[in-house]
Chain A
Amino acid sequence: MTQTDTDAPFLETRALHKRYGGVHALRGVDLTIRRGRFYHLLGENGCGKSTLIKIISGAQSPSEGRVQIEGVEQPATPDPIAALAAGIETVYQDLSLLPNLSVEENIGLTSQLVASGGRLAVRLRRGEMRALAARAAAEVGLPSDPAFLRTHVDRLPIATRQLISIARAVAAEAGLVIMDEPTTALTRREIAHLIGVIRKLQARGTALLFVTHKLDEAKEIGGTGIVMRDGQFVAELDIETADLAEVGELMTNRRIDQARYRAASPAAAEVARLSVDGLSRAGSYRDISFDLAPGEILGITGLLDSGRNPLALGLAGLAPPDAGQVRLDGRTVDLSDPSTGMDRGIAYVPEDRLEEGLFLDKSITDNIAMTVFDRLRGALGIVSMDRARILAREVADDLKIVAEDVDAPVGSLSGGNQQRVLIGRWLATKPRVLILHGPTVGVDVGSKDTIFRIIQRQAEAGMGVIIVSDDIPELIQNCDRIAVMRDGRIVETFDGARVDAGQLYAAIGGILETAETAP
């Protein structure tokens, strides 16, 4: 990279707009990035951070507006090669790794693609690729031996994959490295190491743009904080001196402390609604035990590889545990298949709404009624679609789903409404235990509010609720107790009414303890 005038912006966007169908994800974004600086893009789920990044990195084109890199206008059609050639490297949230290719290929292929200008009919320079991959891997703290470099990525754990994805960006010696939530799967030591890598990049004049939900981590790194809300920039501030509570308020447009929804407390009961005893699954979680009272809301949190996700899947019968048992109202539940738990009254609202939850091209009615077709059957086992429609209408009204026509495909709803359809599907089964996995991912503020109120209402009616989430404020707002997982175990359980975010972050192990000192 040639060292140009450092004051001229490396990258500028002007009046960017992006629409997905009816969703207006970006509403006029002006961003300026200068060399050698750090930027943190802060904002709630679904405010448009990832969308902005995709446009800058040429994966998508804006609906309106333009992007300039070093004064050069970027092409109007999606062109990742142009962005890469201009020196923009991106570590996506989903890591963008090719599962069936090796580590060295994942790290080194793009640089050769850029070198050839996107032309494919050129020789693959394997030696060069291997050397580059070895160097980059070593730099982010990965092994650099040939055996490792030749392993296919789909056979590596998620934390390793995240580092590979970062290594690719490091290898390119780019002008701007964008990292979309780069540390979700990393341990503190890995993060510390990563920060070291980042500082080296900065010293070379590389600018870095982080997307993160971990404000404390951003503070530790330092730089400019850019706060987004509903597809717009609402503030730019120096993150090191900023007041985190204020930043949170800017992000959400609300005072955070007023937002605890949990008012009631669980009913006292002889038998726990759900009793988990010594649950284990090799390589995922170990020796998990807890009781859930009727009407209680339990939060479970931890890093991505802490075992919280497999535990959620295990309780839902989707990844059966190897050992231990689960009792529902005193009777053992068979968790070898999702349907058996479901029949006993365990409902599981999955994390990934689009992949694991909804049938986007199918009607709202089908999406809601599918779990209770049995109840809607009449003579000859015929499912009455009229009754299904009535049910769907009731659920929609009850959960304030904005839909004129329950025969419309679920894909035509906004994210918040989609999530409510998914929750409605499970509430229709009248479950005894409701497990919500990331219930408000990608859901906007208004919908969040509605969803939290629904959750509280169910708990008040005596349902046992488990929320598995990495959204700390959400847990504090809703839970009676919050269990923190690390390395597959529950390491600490907090009282939801008393714990503060700092304590939770510290227990999770995702940030540096020094961040505690923030006001």
Chain B
Amino acid sequence: MSDTDLQPAIADRPSLSPGKRIADWILANPAGFPLALLALTCLVVGAINPDFWQLANLFDVLRASVVEGLFALGVLVVLAAGGLDVSFSAIAALVMYTVTLIVSTLVPGLGILPILLAGLAGGALLGALNGVLINLLKAPALIVTIATQYAFRGFLLTFVGTALFMNIPASMTAFGQIALFSQVSADGLRVQFPAYFLIFVLAAIVTWALLNHTLLGRAVYACGGKPEIAARLGFNIARVRVFVFAWAGMLAGLAGILHVTSNRLANPFDLAGTELAVIAAVVLGGARVTGGKGTVGGTIAGVLLITLVDNVLIQVGIPSTWRTAVVGAFILLAGMFYAWVDRTAVGR
């Protein structure tokens, strides 16, 4: 028996219809769809308003993607493992406000590194609590994280504080101001590319490496694909679950700290209500709420797309009142497109 015997059975590619081929390609390249939409959006906007083509716009979109992007990376990992998290914004708010408050009242001179580490640790802890609760209650992650969202935010505003404050630690202000790149445009506008963007890049690389180059990463996908089989093959599902929520929490904590550094103020009401939009961005990037799918590249493309759409409406003269409807339409389109892909691709 030779290899050729089985080839036709695996997939008779030449005879595929164009639809099937597109669907196949999308499945193999999850970032393809959001990237294509991204390119299309840029071209359309650029055609309407040639001013769109400037470095500053790129910087703006990238900068505005940092917090949402960190959230999205966490959501991706949770979705890949077959869960769902809507508590990350509450975790971020709780961590950023508490850490900033404690540091600025007790050790205002603290450097940025310990502050970032505190954010990571605090977030991871709260995230792990989500995971433990989900294991313990055997309840859907969505429901449990709705509950913890209420609990975290309620705790923050009841026991920690409600006041916005501007006198954040100097190291945080300074860190938010560091520019990787600074340029004065022809119009005399200084354009800065903030250094904290590198932290997002780093987080993306680490998440990518984790998902693709550790056993844990494979366990995450295994868990999202067929948890009972993964368990039978020796993956510790409960531990994977705690891990993914801890990871999402950790990235949320980090996002919170960066949010404060870049805004130069700590507001406990910030970030609330961003949950569903972040999930939408991750889904736009090719992850499925049914679990087991999704890539870092796709997720970043999804976040960039949503941020871009959010940011360019003014430039093409669409009234800002249209923003919500446009984003909603994008999400519906993406949902329908992926439903079609899943139905059409070979071997389903």
A143 contacts the other chain (CB 8 A): yes
* Partner pick for A110 among B9, B216, B234, B236, CB 8 A cutoff: B234
A141 and B348 in contact (CB under 8 A), knowing A99-B225, A110-B233? no
Q: Does B235 lie within 8 Å of A59, measured CB to CB?
A: no
Residues in B with CB closer than 8 Å to A105 are 218
A100 contacts the other chain (CB 8 A): yes
A164-190 interface (Cβ within 8 A of B): 189-190
Residues in B with CB closer than 8 Å to A122 are 214-216
Q: Does B348 lie within 8 Å of A113, measured CB to CB?
A: no
Interface-located stretch among A153-161, A207-215, A289-297: A153-161
Measured CB to CB, the closest approach of chain A to B319, in angstroms, equals: 42
Q: Does A100 lie within 8 Å of B10, measured CB to CB?
A: no
Q: Does B214 lie within 8 Å of A120, measured CB to CB?
A: yes
Residues in B with CB closer than 8 Å to A141 are 1, 3, 5-6
> Closest A-chain residue to B211, C-beta based?
A124
A85-108 interface (Cβ within 8 A of B): 92, 94, 96-101, 105
Q: Does B226 lie within 8 Å of A98, measured CB to CB?
A: yes
B240 contacts the other chain (CB 8 A): yes
* Partner pick for B232 among A59, A152, A155, CB 8 A cutoff: A59
Q: Does A155 lie within 8 Å of B221, measured CB to CB?
A: no
B1-29 interface (Cβ within 8 A of A): 1, 3, 5-7, 9-11, 27
A100 and B6 in contact (CB under 8 A), knowing A122-B215, A190-B1? no
Q: Does A124 lie within 8 Å of B215, measured CB to CB?
A: yes
Q: Does A157 lie within 8 Å of B9, measured CB to CB?
A: yes
Residues in A with CB closer than 8 Å to B346 are 155
Q: Does A120 lie within 8 Å of B348, measured CB to CB?
A: no
Contact with A along B190-218 (1 / 0, CB 8 A): 00000000000000000000001111111
Measured CB to CB, the closest approach of chain B to A42, in angstroms, equals: 24
Measured CB to CB, the closest approach of chain A to B259, in angstroms, equals: 29
Measured CB to CB, the closest approach of chain A to B346, in angstroms, equals: 6
A452 contacts the other chain (CB 8 A): no
B63 contacts the other chain (CB 8 A): no
> Closest A-chain residue to B11, C-beta based?
A155
Q: Does A124 lie within 8 Å of B218, measured CB to CB?
A: yes
Residues in B with CB closer than 8 Å to A59 are 231-232
Q: Does B6 lie within 8 Å of A116, measured CB to CB?
A: no
Measured CB to CB, the closest approach of chain B to A180, in angstroms, equals: 12
**How many of A's residues come within 8 Å of B, CB to CB?**
45
Q: How far is the CA of A248 from the CA of B121 in the complex (A)?
A: 64
A101 and B225 in contact (CB under 8 A), knowing A81-B234, A96-B232, A154-B348? yes
Residues in B with CB closer than 8 Å to A228 are none
Residues in B with CB closer than 8 Å to A468 are none
Residues in A with CB closer than 8 Å to B219 are 120
Could you list which residues of chain A lie within 8 angstroms of chain B, going by C-beta atoms? 59, 80-81, 84, 92, 94, 96-101, 105, 109-110, 112-114, 116, 118-124, 126, 141-145, 148, 151-152, 154-157, 159-160, 163, 189-190, 193
Can you sample 25 A-B contacts with CB below 8 Å? A81-B234, A96-B229, A99-B226, A99-B292, A109-B222, A110-B233, A112-B215, A118-B234, A118-B236, A120-B214, A120-B215, A120-B216, A121-B214, A123-B213, A123-B214, A123-B215, A124-B215, A124-B218, A141-B3, A141-B5, A143-B7, A155-B346, A157-B10, A160-B10, A163-B6
19 new A-B pairs (CB below 8 Å) besides A100-B292, A124-B212, A190-B1? A80-B232, A92-B232, A98-B222, A98-B225, A100-B225, A101-B221, A109-B215, A118-B236, A120-B214, A120-B219, A120-B240, A123-B215, A124-B215, A143-B3, A145-B3, A151-B10, A154-B348, A157-B347, A193-B1
